Amino acid sequence: MCFPFPVQGESTPLTECKVRPSDQSHRMSRIETTRQVMAPELRDRSQEPAALGMIGESAALASVYERARLVAQAPNTTVLIVGESGVGKELAARAVHALSARRDAPFVAVNCAAINESLLESELFGYERGAFTGASQRKIGIFEAAQHGTILLDEVGEMGPGLQAKLLRVLQERRLYRVGGVRPVELDVRVIACTNRDLRLSVQEGSFRQDLFYRLNVVQIEIPPLREREGDVVPLAKAFLGQFAEEMRKDLRGFSRAALERLIDYPWPGNVRELRNTIERVAVLTPGPVVGPEDLQFSPVFGPQQDLDPSASDEQTLAEVERAHITRTLSDCHGNKSRAARLLGIHRTTLAKKIEEYGLG
């Protein structure tokens, strides 16, 4: 998933927050910046983190940017980006592309979970005329469409075993055969893969090939969840509010102090995607000009009162929390899976797999 760029004309330097004791007199120090952590010698402003959509002031985000910058200098190196759903894995992939020598070539993304496996092969590798019923002409696949650029395999952990073997061969030989074809197509493309699964566990369980995991995991970029990125919530919220205010032509000037505190306190289980959706809802429903705490509507499952109780949050695993969230959302949508998937910020196919995984059908 890609998150928006900052409001035009706005520049957000990447800084680190100094955390003071959490008593009331120092609560807002969590949004005060104390020192710059990014090196100033960037080639141009288009390659600064904010220009790439990496908005925030946490050391964790600075680390992600620095790793993306380093791997960008190796244009053929395969990258595996891991993290929870909604943290901005596609954004990091786009940053690697934009910082690399391939920046002027295509960046093509495909969601491996959104396409049936029988169709995914032809989507990735293309097919020749007559390869199967209905193949009336040759079709170029996504790999060829990304020639000289970057291809992003999102949710690569959902790929079936048969296609995993074919992908491994393409990565090893840097060439492919279209479905029904006999002539190899040479490839010059960087492959970036994203997943919210623990692929090491998938390897142990036998659902993901070990050799493919090693081939993809040459350089790994791990993006921490938003709740662990001290200093990113407020800059992101302000950037989103500015964007939506401009799009909707509304006078929304910012957040009250109490609203900022509430944003900071909320654990954001849906990460940046949930934050963006929350601010969009605020922009639609709030008359403005200043957003107050009463204007913030969080997920029906998660709320500051519930999640600030450590004993309550520690009793549930992440899977249990996710199951409860999906259950409530499906209930709120009266079983409408398409609408529930939109509210959850995931593809309908992914939701169907979660429903099956958690026995919610």
Say which CATH number the domain at 258 has.
1.10.8.60
| pLDDT of amino acid 301 | 52
Domain membership flag for residue 76: yes
For residues 244 and 316, state if they share a domain.
Answer: yes
For residues 152 and 241, state if they share a domain.
Answer: no
Q: Which two tokens stand for residue 87?
A: 């943290």
Number of Cβ within a 10 Å radius of residue 263:
24
Residues forming a β-bridge with 255? 291
For residues 332 and 191, state if they share a domain.
Answer: no
| pLDDT of amino acid 320 | 79
Per-residue pLDDT tens digits for 281-292? 999 999 889 999
Measured CA distances, 224 to 86, 132, 158 (Å): 11, 44, 21
| pLDDT of amino acid 150 | 98
Report the amino acid identity of residue 5. Answer: F
135: domain range?
A: 59-226
Residue that terminates a domain, selected from 192, 226, 260? 226
Residue that terminates a domain, selected from 209, 226, 243? 226
For residues 175 and 79, state if they share a domain.
Answer: yes
- Measure the CA–CA gap between 7 and 235, rounded to whole angstroms: 12
| pLDDT of amino acid 338 | 82
Distance, C-alpha 230 to centroid of its chain: 18
Residue that terminates a domain, selected from 200, 226, 252? 226
Domain membership flag for residue 95: yes
Domain membership flag for residue 3: no
| pLDDT of amino acid 88 | 95
Give every residue of the chain whose pLDDT is below 50, as ranges. Answer: 1-42, 302-314
| pLDDT of amino acid 240 | 96
For residues 238 and 155, state if they share a domain.
Answer: no
Is residue 38 within 8 A of residue 188, CB to CB? The reply is no
| pLDDT of amino acid 171 | 96
| pLDDT of amino acid 230 | 85
Domain membership flag for residue 241: yes
Domain membership flag for residue 256: yes
Number of Cβ within a 10 Å radius of residue 324:
14
Q: Between the CA atoms of 242, 243, 248 and 253, what dihedral angle is there, to the nearest 10 degrees?
A: 0
- Measure the CA–CA gap between 148 and 174, rounded to whole angstroms: 12
The predicted model scores a pTM of 0.72
| pLDDT of amino acid 332 | 74
Collapsing DSSP to helix, strand or coil, 359 comes out as coil
Residue 310, exposed/middle/buried by CB under 10 A (0-12, 13-18, 19+)? exposed
| pLDDT of amino acid 339 | 76
| pLDDT of amino acid 44 | 62
- Measure the CA–CA gap between 72 and 65, rounded to whole angstroms: 10
Collapsing DSSP to helix, strand or coil, 127 comes out as strand
Strands 254-255 and 290-291, bridge-based pairing: parallel
Is residue 7 within 8 A of residue 252, CB to CB? The reply is no
- Measure the CA–CA gap between 127 and 122, rounded to whole angstroms: 6
| pLDDT of amino acid 350 | 84
Domain membership flag for residue 28: no
| pLDDT of amino acid 186 | 96
Q: Which two tokens stand for residue 242?
A: 């500015």
Domain membership flag for residue 119: yes
- Number of domains the chain is built from: 2
For residues 187 and 315, state if they share a domain.
Answer: no
